[in-house]
Structure 1
């Protein structure tokens, strides 16, 4: 075997292995752009800072289905509730997930525009018990 071919294979394998350590699966050029990625049981980054009026885009970079669901008690009082699937309450989002709605499939996105400053706590319904949660901090 040629030494260069061997080294290229080793470097390629190491890069692929290390890429898996981030919790984000890079599925190639067909992956849409986003601000927050969804790994197997994590949002990446877990905390994201946005400005008032900014639209944040979550992208499912994983092979599994996920959701983005705000904790009703975890958003500012005057803020609009958000959840993938467009539900108005946390309870409606949870109920819909049980019926197969509100899913963010692999290589698809969910977005929300934040109009009120403050902290917004959110989670992934099917992976909540695994700790898949995050925070968007919205500043003036």
Structure 2
């Protein structure tokens, strides 16, 4: 009788200890977007990678690889002067993107994507509206 109780306790402890192993791997994954489906992924509060380098004329694809809702929203004052503004949801300004988020506008749900083509060389800084306070920010560096 004692042996059964001991084996049950050991089995339960082993199961509990292993329960988080598969999800723990994705938390430490540096690049969830290997391959052709996306270039930048998102975990709970980070863009992965947070800095991405491309050439003029290339398109970047972001993919929400987490269970949280996110946005991709350019900082208006932190993109090149002649560059097109970008934000998931197609908003033409940072203020419009903020206002739309009140109704979940620009929301990227799990596995949703957003893409933007960069036509002007320079550095583009962007963020996630609901996770801006957690410093969920990223940077695209576009070279000639």
- TM-score w.r.t. the length of structure 2 is 0.80
Long gaps (5+) in structure 2 = 1-14
Output the aligned Cα RMSD.
2.5
Residues 35 and 57 of structure 1 are in contact (CA less than 8 Å); yes or no, is this contact kept in structure 2? Answer: yes
Residues 37 and 44 of structure 1 are in contact (CA less than 8 Å); yes or no, is this contact kept in structure 2? Answer: yes
1:19 matched to 2:19? The reply is no
**2:76 match:** 72
Quote the Cα distance in structure 2 between the aligned partners of 1:74 and 1:116: 13
2:65 to 57, 61, 65: 61
Q: CA deviation at 1:14?
A: 4.7
What is the number of equivalent residue pairs in this alignment? 127
- TM-score w.r.t. the length of structure 1 is 0.82
1:83 matched to 2:90? The reply is no
Q: How does 1:43-54 map to 2 (within 5 A)?
A: 43-54=47-58
Q: CA deviation at 1:19?
A: 3.0
Moved more, 16-25 or 125-134: 16-25
Q: How does 1:121-140 map to 2 (within 5 A)?
A: 121-140=125-144
Question: Bigger radius of gyration, 1 or 2?
Answer: 2
Residues 30 and 49 of structure 2 are in contact (CA less than 8 Å); yes or no, is this contact kept in structure 1? Answer: no
Long gaps (5+) in structure 1 = 1-8, 27-31
2:97 to 89, 93, 98: 93
